[in-house]
Amino acid sequence: MKKSLIFILLIGSFFCGVYAQTDTISSYTKKTYMIPMRDGVKLFTVVLAPTQEMAPGPFLIKRTPYGADFPLPENAIIPVKKMGSFQPMAEDGYIFVFQDMRGKFKSEGSFEMTRPLYHLIDKTKTDESTDAYDAIDWLVKNIKNNNGKAGINGVSYPGYLALDASVDPHPALKASSPQASPADMFLGDDFHHNGAFRLSYGFEYSYLVENDKLSNSNFPFPQYDLYNWYLQLGSLKNVNDKYYKGRLAAWNDFIKHPDYDDYWKKSSTLTYIQTPQLPILHVGGYFDQEDMNGPQLMYRHLEKKDSFNRNFIVLGPWNHGGWEDQKADSLGEINFGSNTAAWFQALQKRWFDYWLRGIGDGKFVEASCFQTGSNIWKTYDSWPPKNAVMKKLYATSEHKASFIQPSSATGAVSYVSDPATPVPYRSLPIEATYGEGSRWYTWHVEDQRFVTTRPDVVSFIMDSLTENETVTGKVMAHLFASTTGTDADFVVKLIDVYPAFDTGNRKMSGYQLPVAMEVIRGRYRKSFMQPSPLVPGKAEEFVIDLHDINHTFLKGHQMMIQVQSTWFPIIDRNPQKYVPSIFEAKESDFIKATETVYCNKQYASYVELPVMKE
């Protein structure tokens, strides 16, 4: 959830060294305030307001755990032309507000990771919704020359806070845009995916935000490549024993709540947000390495009760917060053919201009979703579109993929999964998540040929396409598999294989682009609340949501299904022997197991694809 930290630092870089300039027609002045909440706690707030008298303007608010201040003195004067991505809105007189959330940096109070909305149960309690309400109430009454309207947005954790602010909102809050916001931390966002714990991210992020109230902390790793460091860490119980010593509340909660219990449910936006109480623009990226699931899940959840047409979504070819980059015309080796960031930023301005300034007709499309492969923006009246035709891409025992169901009675493919030699989730070295030179930001588009030849990764590839095939909507994997152990993880990927000789770009010849991939922890195949062991040798169905995509597999490309059982160290090693809590597993619990993927008439493994009629 860290993208907004980078965003705030970029803002600072735009402003540094220009505060003495006053030779522009329009400029902004920085002022800071300690805004009181209803319980007496004061939150540090930066306000950038037009220096010159203008028509009253609206507030655009970002609340953050990453530090709201930037290196400019009080009353610094900032020319509009130096305000970076804020410039278009600044020219129109928006008032920009940045606030440290409760318990972080210069704000008072105590910090709680993804604090539940306590006020919904007990009106005397405070939370991120009540804090946003109180902040807006103070701003409207105390910052001069405002028009009485406010919008809130943010990427990652600030996006989560923008979503919280939309619950029982202040009357002045007219629109919210939660961007790359998590929805549920156990089902599919930062800390777990389908119950599988995200080790490297959970370890490093909890240290980042909880080690020091006044700063963002990077864990002091003793080496650059962390693959072996995490491997030598051993069982997760060693984290507190060796390093954290019980100091970090988030890590302690991971240990206390290994399954989907009330702790996770109470902090899930799916639990406490049921309707869009004001206009909401969800924004997400297909290649988001942190919160891909949240925007998709929350949009779909709120759409069920969107009786006033307030719920909208934008999905693009982005990593976590990539739409805030200068161009976002590519990611890693994948080119998107246009400045997708400029496209989105123009849409975002139109969105807030309408709700906060009354400009425009307010006719926003339901869903704006970039189509990768063909590299064009598409709009839809509903998301996912209703005119897709479901097709099943089957795995076969000959390591082929086909739209024809296997007819064999016994087809299957097996591999040995060894926790001692787990499959890396990206090519080595595994740099610290937010460390120097980290490739964390692009691993979702990394060429999968680095694992294709491993014996513990099995691939099923179809013949070259004779025409374009566009897949738009939710991709679901139905994997029939068994294990010789009593627990197992299964990772399924849908991959776009480029031609062996790509005449358009020779460097992309044979590239294996993962367009959808996800993991499930076997113990949760029936229930996330009540895990159960697998029965050795028994074929069972594992249904895995691979999320929404909008991708054209071009003529001459191939579709490939890939399956593996380790994804390290983004996912912790499953012992493959069932234990009540993996956080308490002993070293002796980690065992080799033979995993079998079934590809026959009775147990046909397949990926369900919503294919568009062209």
Domain boundary residue, one of 361, 380, 399: 380
pLDDT per position as a tens digit, 390-448: 999 999 999 999 999 999 999 999 999 999 999 999 999 999 999 999 999 999 999 99
Confidence check: pLDDT of 17 > 60: no
Same structural domain, 370 and 428: no
Do 474 and 498 lie in one domain? The reply is yes
Would you say how long the chain is, in residues?
614
List the CATH number of the domain containing 593. Answer: 2.60.120.260
Say which CATH number the domain at 246 has.
1.10.3020.10
User: Domain check: are 277 and 249 in the same one?
Assistant: no
How far is Cα 578 from Cα 192, in angstroms, rounded to an integer?
18
Nearest residue to 99 via CA among 112, 89, 108: 108
CA 19 to chain centre: 35
Instruction: Kindly state whether residues 538 and 589 are assigned to the same domain.
Output: yes
Angle between helices 157-165 and 3-15 (to 10 degrees): 100
Same domain, 403 and 428: yes
What the block records as the tokens of 542 is 């594992």
Could you tell me the CATH number of the domain that includes residue 130?
3.40.50.1820
What pLDDT is attached to residue 2? Answer: 62
Q: 3-class SS at 251? A: helix
In this prediction, residue 84 carries a pLDDT of 84
Residue 24 pLDDT > 70: no
Q: Please state, in angstroms and as integers, the Cα–Cα distance from residue 286 to each residue in 47, 94, 449, 599, following that order.
A: 33, 30, 20, 29
Decide which of 353, 380, 407 is a domain's last residue. 380
Q: What confidence tens digit (pLDDT) does each residue in 350-404 have? A: 999 999 999 999 999 999 999 999 999 999 999 999 999 999 999 999 999 999 9
**What's the confidence (pLDDT) of residue 599?**
98
Per-residue 3-state assignment (H helix, E strand, C coil) for 367-403? EEEEEECCCEEEEECCCCCCCEEEEEEEECCCCEEEC
Instruction: Tell which residue, 581, 481, 568, 485, has the closest CA to residue 195.
Output: 581
Q: Chain centroid to CA 606: how far? A: 26
Q: Say if residue 328's pLDDT is above 50.
A: yes
Question: Which pTM was predicted?
Answer: 0.95
- End position of a domain, from candidates 233, 264, 295: 264
Examine the domain organization and report whether 10 and 92 are in the same domain.
yes
- Both 259 and 277 in a single domain? no
pLDDT greater than 70 at residue 12: no
Mean pLDDT of 510-518: 98
d(C-alpha 439, C-alpha 445), whole Å: 11
What Cα–Cα distance (Å) separates residue 5 from each residue in 32, 324, 434? 19, 12, 11
Nearest to 90, CA basis, from 29, 161, 159, 173: 29
Q: What is the band of 614 on the pLDDT scale with cuts at 50, 70, 90?
A: low
Distance from C-alpha of 573 to C-alpha of 255, rounded to nearest angstrom? 15
Locate the DSSP E strands across 449-556. Answer: 457-461, 469-483, 489-497, 512-521, 540-553
Residue 495: how many CB atoms within 10 A of its CB? 26
The closest of 134, 49, 128, 131 to 95, measured between CA atoms, is 49
235 and 587 Cβ atoms separated by less than 8 Å: yes
Check whether residue 318 and residue 362 sit in a common domain: yes
pLDDT in tens, 115-142: 999 999 999 999 999 999 999 999 999 9
Q: Is 308 exposed, middle or buried (0-12, 13-18, 19+ CB in 10 A)?
A: exposed
**Do 260 and 272 belong to one domain?**
no
β partners of residue 311:
280
C-alpha 78/C-alpha 26 separation (Å) is 9
Peptide bond into 422 cis (omega under 30): no
What letter does residue 242 receive in the DSSP assignment? I
Instruction: Judge if 555 and 594 occupy the same domain.
Output: yes
CA distance 146 to 188: 39
Same domain as 136, residue 18: yes
Instruction: Pull the structure tokens for residue 547.
Output: 């999320």
Rounded CA separation 74/154 (Å):
24
How many CA atoms lie less than 13 Å away from 145 in the CB half-sphere?
15
Mean pLDDT of 535-546: 98
Q: How far apart are CA 454 and CA 177, in angstroms?
A: 42
Residue span of the structural domain in which 234 resides: 192-264
403 alpha carbon, distance to own chain's centre = 31
> 545 and 448 in one domain?
yes
Angle between helices 249-256 and 199-210 (to 10 degrees): 140
Number of domains in the chain: 3
For the cut 70, the answer to whether the pLDDT of residue 11 exceeds it is no
- Under the banding of pLDDT at 50, 70 and 90, the label for residue 20 is very low
Q: How far apart are the first and last CA of the chain?
A: 37
